[in-house]
Amino acid sequence: MIESSLIQKLENLTAVIGIIGLGYVGLPLARRYLQIGYTVLGFDIDPKKVDQLKAGKSYIRHIAADDFAESIKREKFDATTDFSKAAQADALILCVPTPLDKHREPDLSYIIDSVDKITGHLRPGQVVSLESTTYPGTTEEELKIRIQKAGFTVGRDIFLVYSPEREDPGNNNYSTRRIPKVCGGTTPACREAGLALYGQVIDQVVPVSSTKTAEAVKLMENIFRSVNIALVNELKTAFMKMDIDIFEVIKAAATKPFGYMPFYPGPGLGGHCIPIDPFYLTWKAREYEVATRFIELAGEINTSMPYFVVSRAADVLNQHAKPLKDAKVLLLGLSYKADVDDDRESPTYRIMELLEQKGAVVSYNDPYIPEIRPTREYPHYAGRKSAQITEEYDLIVLCTGHSQYDSIKPEALNTPILDTRGFFDDISGVIYRG
């Protein structure tokens, strides 16, 4: 049978694994398959990424290039922009972006384009897995329909699964191997193929009853975080009015060994999941006439935080007898989280834009992003370079708490610092919470 032949290839490591989308999710996944001994074929629409990988180089800071360089020498890895080579793979794993459009509705164009690129090159005996975060029903409504229109029967010829990525860039405690993998299939046969696909590379694979359930799992995880972050962001603004340090409160509350989990406020949400995923569910829920008011409120609070930071910046400058207009402001940290070079959906961009709209002269410093790369939402910032941390600024705003900023001596800078992360110790007249 086709299914048993595929599963045998996956289990004895003779299967060729195709990874579509070689970014922060696809690249570490490709590396993991190579480490186990599979042959991996990487697909990306960006020829610059492909060229770097073929040269044995990595463009993501926490992903070492050694595995790729060695695998290329052994002819176990290749990267390409030629999607016709999808026919060579026994498994095709889609790790492409799922952003929101300007109306905050799901943009599935990357998924659809990828599926359209491979459907003409599919063959019986392949497993196709979608890892991109999306709304429940996407795998069935978008991928299954397109695959079947290409003449295949899902569950007999092609085995279709959804297995949400859970990558946490820069988290050394949880590598790709150690993060449990949820997997749902369109049919029981599809699920078995999916379990075989991930079973050799992930320590624990968690089967669920359907692709819709697996899609919902991912949304639930990220909505949980979004709602709790919104809560502490709202508490921060309330406690600040009462002259209470939210970070001290959280630290003390976290000593309770049950019934509490610490979440931390910040300048807004960043990354490829938390700022986006809740809106995927709210959009889909409207189809069923369900109002997701709680989720939408959390989104509104988190989206408003850059405005709060800019308001606090104006307040701090005013305390130092300086207007926001024409003030020289340095933003510390462009990436969305500490000690990574990932700037996707970073709130620092929005803060930069809002400050400039108010007339401030804004620079940024980030040891991991020496020059801003083109982004979908802020292409006009491409090419801007990281500035030095000096005394020439009227205000410094800490947006991301990189460990390298531990060396900063705030009292020696002679510049007020607006700290949005609780990174620095409280120093009266120097450190301001925001």
Residues marked active site are found at: 273
User: What stretches of 320-421 show up as alpha helix (H) in DSSP?
Assistant: 347-357, 410-413
Judging by DSSP bridges, how do beta strands 126-130 and 91-94 pair with one another? parallel
CA distance 401 to 105: 31
Give, in degrees to the nearest 5, the angle at Cα 363 between 362 and 366.
145
Q: How far is CA 385 from CA 58, 205, 294, 365, 378, in A?
A: 21, 42, 39, 8, 14
The 3-state DSSP class for residue 94 equals strand
CB under 8 Å to 72, separation ≥6 — which residues?
A: 54, 56, 78
Q: How far is CA 95 from CA 133, 293, 385, 412, in A?
A: 9, 30, 29, 46
Supply the Cα-derived Rg of the chain in whole angstroms. 23
CA distance 431 to 221: 34
Contact by Cβ (8 Å): 62, 31: no
**From the CB of residue 12, how many other CB atoms can be counted at a distance below 10 Å?**
10
Beta bridge partner(s), residue 158? 126, 154
Contact by Cβ (8 Å): 93, 20: yes
